[in-house]
């Protein structure tokens, strides 16, 4: 039997982010919380508008500060029962240096865990990523992977490594004794590639398609299958994980475990996902990669070498890296069976509904771009 979030004081970090903001929305709309605290380094206008709409429903506290500030974290966690930690620096092409990534994604998580222990925060959910697994540098595929799968994970990229170490810290903290003698309960959720309204990656691909006469660039081979997940289903999984943590029959199942989070979106390449979402808007996708994959790999290697040579003078983030190329062109799919078994997770949104909602949002972006073009 799952628990309830009624009367719970919850802190959401990264609350202005793509996933964090949607978690805040769902908690405010559907849960009878005792209090909600929203935290981010910079609070977006969109988040503040959401908070304004619900300020009469439950006590809301807005916290603006850095995840690397231990004093700020200690104050933020006082009196909290549940932390949902989505805050992270996301970097797919090496734009951010390793020290910054580790300080935010790993050290910030460690500081937050310590603040929970000091403040007797009982429950902690970490938003991880499938990139803590891979793909590895060999591009070895995974088909319908599960939590018990052993995969030779030779991560060649700082972002995935920072998330992997942070997840380890979260799971190892499960069972830590709190100041009041209780114990910390933690779990980690590993979403696959997340799409939906507000996705910065989808918006980037859309802008590139507009510059390419309404045609998405082919960035992944048709046969390189991923299982994208709709943002609404990722958020729903977080709520179910929180309920399960507080349920007498489910708390021990979920404690100290990680879960792959995906849904029933058809398995397809990243490029074909873009096309599936943009087809009704008249957008097309290129038939093949710009050049053969081995040649693309060589180009990415050269770009990385140039970036390395220029580093003493300035930071050049190559638009294509070997890691990104492998990520986009490796079959990497997972199953959500364990999440269903342990926390009752089933996708709340069907593929048809997720596609409709996302395409409608994409249409508004296209309209904005056309208005911007008229003003130039």
d(CA 122, CA 80): 8
d(CA 343, CA 327): 29
d(CA 252, CA 305): 48
Reference 87, options 165, 16, 10, 168; nearest CA is: 16
> Out of 57, 163, 346, 375, which one is annotated catalytic?
163
d(CA 283, CA 348): 28
Q: What are the CA-CA distances from residue 37 to residues 20, 86, 201, 263, 289 (Å)?
A: 12, 13, 27, 28, 45
Residues 6+ apart with CB under 8 A from 347: 230, 233, 236, 263, 264, 336
Other beta carbons within 10 Å of 32? 12
126 and 167 Cβ atoms separated by less than 8 Å? yes
d(CA 132, CA 45): 31
102 and 169 Cβ atoms separated by less than 8 Å? no
DSSP secondary structure letter of residue 102? I
DSSP secondary structure letter of residue 367? H
Other beta carbons within 10 Å of 248? 9
Active site residue 222: no
Reference 334, options 130, 127, 92, 125; nearest CA is: 130
d(CA 241, CA 257): 11
Longest dimension (CA), the chain: 64
Residues noted as catalytic? 163
């Amino acid at each position: 039997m799952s628990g309830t979030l009624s009367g719970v004081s919850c802190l959401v970090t990264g609350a202005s982010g793509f996933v964090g903001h949607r978690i805040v929305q769902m908690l405010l709309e559907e849960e009878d919380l005792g209090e909600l605290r929203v935290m981010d380094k910079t609070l977006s206008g969109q988040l503040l508008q959401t908070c304004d709409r619900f300020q009469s429903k439950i006590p809301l506290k807005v916290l603006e500060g850095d995840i690397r500030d231990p004093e700020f974290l200690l104050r933020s966690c006082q009196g909290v029962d549940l932390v949902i930690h989505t805050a992270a620096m996301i970097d797919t092409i090496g734009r951010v240096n390793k020290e910054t990534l580790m300080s935010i994604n790993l050290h910030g998580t460690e500081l937050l865990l310590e603040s929970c222990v000091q403040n007797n925060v009982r429950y902690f959910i970490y938003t991880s990523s499938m990139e803590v697994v891979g793909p590895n540098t060999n591009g070895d595929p995974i088909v319908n992977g599960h939590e018990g799968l052993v995969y030779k994970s030779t991560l060649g990229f700082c972002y995935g490594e920072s998330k992997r170490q942070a997840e380890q810290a979260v799971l190892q903290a499960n069972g830590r004794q709190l100041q009041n003698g209780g114990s910390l309960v933690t779990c980690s959720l590993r979403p696959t590639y997340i799409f939906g309204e507000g996705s910065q990656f989808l918006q980037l691909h859309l802008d590139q398609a507009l510059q390419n006469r309404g045609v998405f660039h082919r960035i992944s081979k048709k046969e390189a299958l991923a299982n994208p997940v709709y943002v609404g289903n990722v958020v729903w999984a977080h709520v179910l994980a929180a309920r399960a943590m507080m349920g007498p029959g489910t708390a021990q199942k979920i404690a100290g475990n990680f879960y792959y989070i995906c849904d029933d979106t058809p398995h397809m390449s990243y490029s074909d996902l873009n096309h599936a979402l943009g087809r009704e808007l008249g957008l097309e996708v290129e038939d093949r990669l710009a050049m053969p994959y081995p040649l693309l790999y060589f180009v990415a290697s050269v770009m990385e070498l140039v970036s390395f040579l220029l580093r003493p003078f300035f930071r050049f983030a190559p638009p294509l890296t070997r890691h990104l190329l492998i990520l986009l062109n490796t079959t990497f799919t997972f199953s959500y069976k364990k999440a269903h078994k342990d926390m009752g997770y089933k996708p709340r949104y069907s593929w048809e509904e997720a596609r409709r909602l996302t395409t409608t949002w994409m249409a508004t972006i296209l309209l904005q771009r056309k208005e911007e073009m008229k003003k130039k």
